[in-house]
Amino acid sequence: MQELNSATFDSVVLQSSSPVLIDFWAPWCGPCKTMAPVLEAYANEHSEILVVKVNVDEAPDLAQRFNVLSIPTFMVMKGGGVVEQFAGAMTKEVLAERVARHV
Amino acid sequence: MNELKNVVIIGSGPAGYTAAIYAARASLSPVMISGLQIGGQLTLTSDVENWPGEPDGILGGELMENMKKQALKFGTEIIEEMVTEISGSSPFTIKTATRTIEAKAVIIATGASAMWLGVPGEERLQGKGVSACATCDGFFFRGKDIVVAGGGDTAMEEATFLTRFANKVTVVHRREEFRASKAMIEKAKNDPKIEFAFNTVIEEVIGDDHVTGIRTRNVVTNEETVISCNGIFIAIGHKPNTDVFKGFIDLDQKGYIVTIPGSTATNIPGVFACGDVADHVYRQAIVAAGTGSMAALDAERWLESQTA
């Protein structure tokens, strides 16, 4: 899964033809670590979605830009716009359902 | 075809991992179903200062990684899923999203999860200033004013931790006195950034697209006040993770699994319970680990008695 920062975010996300699922995380966050294998499994099963990660430690400006106040926060973007944003750890099934609402 | 196992351990906190280590060393080939919060409540903390044997303290996440390594070293099989259903009598049938397992004995170590206030605005603003994980989200409140709701050790620890980032931390508690340990209370009282509001209940979390304050009421004077803040961390206590066991095993009024005093045995032969899912008196990681080893020993002896 690609790790994005301020330099790469716009070119990758805004220009993606498929919907994008962004995982805002940090290495010191327990629930974020719990979500890592869940996200991996989800990405493997949904090649129609571009799944990317943003480490808020390394890209705090991105976190601020999207009003991220908690991690993990998941954001779904389509056509360059944010369509959904939700926070917390969850099962793969719940994650898939939240994303599917917009796809 | 269903797989038949000697013992399945449900949960992956200190109770679960200790039970796994003991069961694996007793050649029981245990299977652990870890649940979603792998490592349990300690993965939400930063430094654990009271774990015996770690005089310099240890990070909660690191301690749990060490336990996991140890459980795997002795041959535990770990399935990183949630139990969706349990039924039957030895062998018990346990289901997850992808598997069905038959187990001669079961050790329940599912622990407890943070409770929410249940007031208007709380759910809506989750992730937007409402949090139950100080170590995860404190980062976003640098220089801001924060409220911590609660009066126990978790609330004290979160408040103290949050002073690393916050401008001011106000601990709001509905009673006159804290129920936290003396060491934790002293630490919080001595911190110039921490203020206290006693006899105060939170009635609402306010804000449009992020938290801007909380509406509170003093239970003694009935006076209502709005405390402005950018974030609120809920630390009011835990409830046992037993929803999936309702109807299967005896639970007490608060949802904790009932065990026979001095043992981890429950009302169901072959099912044992350990850690915070059964303990609402001590709720300490080291006690959970202790009862985890008891559960493995109880399960081992019970299995032997079945073949005698």
Q: Please check whether the two domains, B3-114+238-307 and B130-234, share a CATH topology.
A: yes
Both tokens of residue A90?
A: 């969850």
Gyration radius of chain A over CA positions: 12
- pLDDT value of residue B136: 86
Over range B19-28, report the average pLDDT. Answer: 98
A29 has catalytic annotation: yes
B35 touches chain A (CB under 8 A): no
Q: Indicate which of B123, B140, B144, B164 best probes the interface with A, i.e. most A CBs within 10 Å of its own CB.
A: B140
Catalytic residue of the set A12, A26, A29, A89: A29
Q: How far is Cα B133 from Cα A96, in angstroms, rounded to an integer? A: 24
Q: Which residues face B213 on adjacent strands?
A: B206, B228
Residue B219 clears pLDDT 90, i.e. is over it: yes
Burial of B305 (0-12, 13-18, 19+ CB in 10 A): exposed
Q: Before B192, cis peptide (omega within 30)?
A: no
pLDDT-derived band of residue B1, with 50, 70 and 90 as boundaries?
Answer: low
Residue B2 clears pLDDT 80, i.e. is over it: no
The residue of chain A with its CA nearest to that of B136 is: A29
pLDDT-derived band of residue B21, with 50, 70 and 90 as boundaries?
Answer: very high
**In whole angstroms, what separates CA B94 from the centre of its chain?**
22
Q: Which element (helix H / strand E) includes B294?
A: helix B285-307
The residue of chain A with its CA nearest to that of B60 is: A30
Q: Are B226 and B195 in contact, with CB atoms under 8 Å apart?
A: no
pLDDT-derived band of residue B289, with 50, 70 and 90 as boundaries?
Answer: very high
Residue B225 clears pLDDT 80, i.e. is over it: yes
Short-list A91, A3, A78, A90, CA closest to B127: A90
pLDDT digits over A92-103, tens only? 888 999 999 987
Whether domain B3-114+238-307 has CATH 3.50.50.60: yes
Q: Which of B36, B60, B61 sits opposite A89 (nearest CB)?
A: B36
The residue of chain B with its CA nearest to that of A41 is: B80
pLDDT digits over B228-251, tens only? 999 999 999 899 999 999 999 999
For the domain spanning B130-234, the CATH number is 3.50.50.60
- pLDDT value of residue B215: 98
pLDDT digits over B31-53, tens only? 999 998 889 999 887 778 889 99
Over range B257-264, report the average pLDDT. Answer: 96
ipTM of predicted complex: 0.78
Over range B267-281, report the average pLDDT. Answer: 96
A74 has catalytic annotation: no
3-state secondary structure (DSSP) of residue B8: strand
pLDDT digits over A30-79, tens only? 888 888 888 999 999 999 999 999 999 999 999 999 999 999 999 999 98
The average confidence (pLDDT) of chain B is 94
Residue B3 clears pLDDT 80, i.e. is over it: no
Least confident residue range of A26-30, A94-98, B278-282: A26-30
B133 has catalytic annotation: yes
For the domain spanning A2-100, the CATH number is 3.40.30.10
pLDDT digits over B96-144, tens only? 988 999 999 999 999 999 899 999 999 999 889 999 888 889 989 999 9
The residue ranges of every structural domain in chain B are: 3-114+238-307, 130-234
Q: How far is Cα B45 from Cα B67, in angstroms, rounded to an integer? A: 16
pTM: 0.84
